[in-house]
Copies of this chain bind each other. A is one copy, B any other.
Amino acid sequence: MIKIGIIGYGYWGPNVTRNFNSLKTAKILMICDMNPDARKRAEMACPDIKIVSDYNEVINSPDIDAVAVVTPVFTHYEIAKEALLSGKHIFVEKPFTSKVSEAEELINLADKKNLKIMVDHTFLFTSAVRKIKECIDNDVLGRIYYYDSTRVNLGLFQHDINVIWDLAPHDLAILDYLFQEKPAALIATGAEHFGRNLEDVAYITLYFESNMIAHFNVNWLTPVKVRMTLIGGDKKMLVWNDLEVDEKIKIYDKGVEITTKEGVYSLLTKYRSGDCWIPKIDQIEALSSETEYFIDCILNNKTPINDGYAGLRVVKILEATNESLKNKSRLIELK
């Protein structure tokens, strides 16, 4: 039985709490939030759990084995560091940290103290992403041409981060999970419209050595919500529309074969267009699997797929988008 402390009971904290609470292998001992309204909500929902306002109480509690850090990103590093120093495993909200150096320091610390870090890349635990992973691992799609994601809606504007840091971590974590190959360089473009110096519309292109290209369209200012990812391979092509209730993933037997000959008029192109297949996707709550997996990793000393290194790889890309945006959308090499 792993004893858990929750730090942060804002928008996402109640979900993390509810899911840890329903596990037989875990027990929440304390919930912390500096906001009195949040504490009141926590008391109503969890009458049997101790509610505190100072996160040091959680971190210093000798009974607590692991801490969930569900606070704004700029606070992750400090809280996570103290938790690790205090010997706690940590479950940290995405994105892992605000800086690459912070993520690296936390990883080193956890390694030294033999503690687990799990970054809450929730989408990795959805049936949809698992099904896509299965397709890629089984070479259903073949060599990948591109990964093209659109994640746009109206709001929610964040006060401390731009739209890339808010929305893109989902897609970057998924991309990192799906493909072995890591991006070689990136470009970010974007604009902001409210005098905050934080982009509300942005686009990221990732270049890969293999010639795969990935693109992310993130926007807080669209009247309709879109959650659409296209993945084109030379064997099959996949469309993932996460807003569909039942038919999230469609796999198309479509493609093109090109034979180029000398001379201007000699392009021979053959298009293939066959059946489409909509695999059954189970309706499970991803966060439920993920929290259970966190406990399992602790109890059985496993390395999570979404460990500190996975979190770090996402932060590296996010940090590089900052650099690109600051330098007139310059290409940034990712070593």
Contacts and interface: CB of A to CB of B under 8 A. Distances in A.
Interface of A: 47, 72, 74, 145-146, 148, 150, 152, 154-160, 185, 187, 189-196, 200-201, 203, 205, 207, 211-213, 215, 217, 219-224, 230, 232, 234, 237-239, 246-247, 250, 252-254, 256, 258, 260, 264-267, 269, 271, 273-280, 328-331
Contacts of A212: 191
A266 B158 CA distance: 10
Nearest to A205: B189
30 contacts: A47-B47, A74-B264, A145-B191, A145-B201, A146-B221, A148-B217, A148-B222, A150-B150, A154-B254, A154-B271, A154-B273, A159-B260, A189-B205, A191-B213, A192-B211, A194-B260, A195-B260, A196-B258, A203-B203, A221-B237, A221-B256, A223-B237, A223-B252, A223-B276, A224-B246, A275-B279, A276-B277, A277-B277, A328-B331, A330-B330
Q: Which 4 A-B pairs have the closest CB atoms?
A: A159-B267, A223-B252, A189-B205, A223-B237
A48 to B, nearest CB: 9
Contacts of A211: 191-193
B280 A278 contact: no
Contacts of A254: 154, 223
Given A159-B264, A217-B217, A222-B232, 17 more contacts: A72-B264, A154-B271, A159-B260, A159-B265, A189-B215, A190-B213, A193-B234, A194-B260, A201-B232, A203-B205, A219-B232, A223-B250, A224-B239, A247-B276, A275-B279, A277-B277, A278-B278
A260 B332 CA distance: 31
A230 B222 contact: yes
A286 to B, nearest CB: 19
A217 B228 CA distance: 13
A269 B156 contact: yes
Interface of A is mostly: strand
A160 B269 contact: no
A238 to B, nearest CB: 8
Contacts of A280: 253, 273-276
A214 to B, nearest CB: 10
Given A213-B191, A328-B331, A264 B160 contact: yes
Contact of A157 (B258, B266, B277, B331): B258
Contacts of A221: 145-146, 232, 237, 256
Highest count of chain B CB atoms <10 Å: which of A150, A193, A269, A275: A193
A157 B269 contact: yes
Nearest to A194: B258
